[in-house]
A = this chain, B = another copy of it.
Amino acid sequence: MKVEIGVKALGANERQADLNRRRLLEAGWVAVNLLSSPGSGKTSLIEAVLPRLRARCDVAVVEGDVETARDADRVAGAGGRAVQIETRGACHLDARMVSRALDELDLGRPQRGWGLLLIENVGNLVCPAEYLLGEELRVVLLSTPEGDDKVAKYPEVFRTADVVVLNKMDLAPHLDFRLERVREDLQAVHPGVPVFPLSARSGEGVDPWLDWLVRNARERLELSKSAGA
């Protein structure tokens, strides 16, 4: 009984996610879902790339948190157009919340020809993996202080990733973090997934990831246009 209701709820979420996706693509926007543990540096990474990203496309940000609007404030401080979702206890974003955020953002046609909508999920390495939001791309962050055993312990979220970012590489010299172990575990869980070690704080390694993101987002957009034609 309990399982059936869960399946139904996930089905309804997937339908809403598909509506979000189409609504965005038709208007020229590509959504990216960022997932990680609390404190892996999702907001810091968004802050780090905003200026460079805004030179290449329109950018908007949806910030998910259990409580507070601090992240939307941080992103707005960095010059970003941001809206905050406070889940009030819920452990993940869902497609309906994102739909309401889209109403609030009222995106319209991107002035630079196309736009990127960055959706920062609630900090949680388990539950958000199950919920599509309408994204074309899923970015999963792992930060070095969390330890090099997290891929094996929380495989599901890494299985669903289009790209994995290893953040806080600047702290690695102070830690017992073996990059090779993470790569091996990723290879077992999700063979071939691209991995970008970087530091949002120092900026090192951020550009290659940003290039990957822009290229793949554009490809998805072109693909949806040709599929629609």
Nearest CB in chain B to that of A147: its residue: B39
Is B126 within 8 A of A70, CB to CB? no
Number of copies: 2
Q: Is the CB of B125 within 8 A of A127?
A: no
Residue on B nearest A189 in the bound complex, by CB: B67
* A51 to B: closest C-beta gap in Å: 20
Residues of B with C-beta under 8 A to A154: 38, 66-67, 123
Known contacts A5-B2, A168-B145, A174-B174; is-contact A124 B68 (Cβ 8 Å): no
Sort chain A's interface into a size bin: 35 or more
Is A37 part of the binding interface, using a Cβ–Cβ cutoff of 8 Å? yes
- Rounded to whole Å, the gap between the CB of A10 and the closest CB of chain B is 13
Q: How far is the CB of A189 from chain B (nearest CB, A)?
A: 10
Residues of B within 8 A of A124 (CB): 91, 124-127
> Which residues of B have CB within 8 Å of A125?
38, 123-124
- A residues contacting B by CB (< 8 A) are 2, 5, 9, 37-39, 65-68, 70, 89-91, 122-127, 143, 145-147, 149-150, 152-156, 168, 170-171, 174-175
